[in-house]
Amino acid sequence: MSNKKRKQQVVFWIIRLMTLGVVGVLCWILGFLIVKGAGAISWEFLTGYPSGGMTEGGILPAIAGTLSLVAGSIAVAFPVGVFSGIYTSEYAPNNKIVRLLRIMTNNLAGIPSIVFGLFGMSLFVNTLGFGDSIIAGSLTLGLLVLPLVIRTTEEALNAVPQTFRQASYALGATKVQTIRRVVLPMAFPNIMTGLILSVGRVSGETAPILFTVAAYFLPRLPRSLSDQVMALPYHLYVLATSGTDIEASRPMAYGTALVLILIVLIINVLAGLIRARFTKRMN
């Protein structure tokens, strides 16, 4: 074997080991949760209310809470983010103000989520008077993932080759028609990727909901947007650190973590299916 080939083999093996390491850790976490948490999961656990000082019963209110927060925050971030992305990528002139805007968007993505939580409390809960509510929590979580949605939208639009835009313009289409009929459909699968990432982020965040919506113990389903709710990540935190009997509620905590991961997984798979269907239709 030549020296060049041997070098290539070494590099391949390093890459393989790295990949294996990452996948290994992921499988370990999943396996650990399944081993510890699968026993806790039952029909009663999924559809029941917590009881006995959160050492018994189920987590239905937290599941409902997390789902409503995911839906609410996506409803906030998706339209705003996609339209902003369309604006900055397709319409905005390439001047200083827009460049500054882009830098600020990127910085926004790096702000710790607890800061978003405090900001949300200050603006939505107190100043705007929404109180601790789904609406305040959704707005806060929506702000958190907004930069992500904007960035992925921009990148998805930029990835559409200019030749398709030119073809559209050359046929007498306006800019809006070109974006709506040619560019957006082609960018859609990648925009969906941004959405998937946002869902994962939103459903797992604890800090932003801490002061804006999350309830420590509220064993009922949300009735309106101005209700407080329990949420899976916060419930998990409570079970693990500040329940009435931490040892007794430990299986519940593992079960909760497993359910949270499964929900994210299911939503990702669904979004992936939509994405795949759309990509297939395009080709």
- Kindly tell me the burial class for residue 242, based on how many C-beta atoms sit within 10 Å of its own C-beta (0-12, 13-18, 19 or more): exposed
Question: What string marks each residue from 107 to 146 as x (binds other proteins by CB under 8 A) or -?
Answer: ----------------------------------------
Backbone angles phi and psi of 82, in degrees to 5: -65, -45
For other proteins, the closer CB: 5 or 280? 280
CB 118 within 8 A of CB 210: no
> Does 181 participate in binding other proteins (rule CB under 8 A)?
yes
Binding of other proteins by 164 (CB under 8 A): yes
Q: What's the gap between Cα 63 and its chain centre?
A: 15
273 interacts with other proteins by CB under 8 A: no
Give the DSSP H/E element, type plus range, for residue 22: helix 3-37
Instruction: Check residue 166 for interaction with other proteins (CB under 8 A).
Output: yes
**98 touches other proteins (CB under 8 A):** no
Q: Which residues 185-244 are close enough to bind other proteins by CB under 8 A?
A: 185-186
Indicate the residue among 185 and 204 with the shorter CB distance to other proteins: 185
From 169, 217, 225, 268, residue interacting with other proteins (rule: CB under 8 A): 169
Q: Which residue has the tokens 């935190």?
A: 237
**Distance from chain centroid for Cα 145:** 7
Q: Which of 44, 77, 48, 41 has the alpha carbon at shortest distance from 62?
A: 48
Q: Is 92 in the site for other proteins (CB under 8 A)?
A: no
Among 182, 218, 221, 274, binds other proteins (CB under 8 A): 182
- By CB under 8 A, tell whether 99 contacts other proteins: no
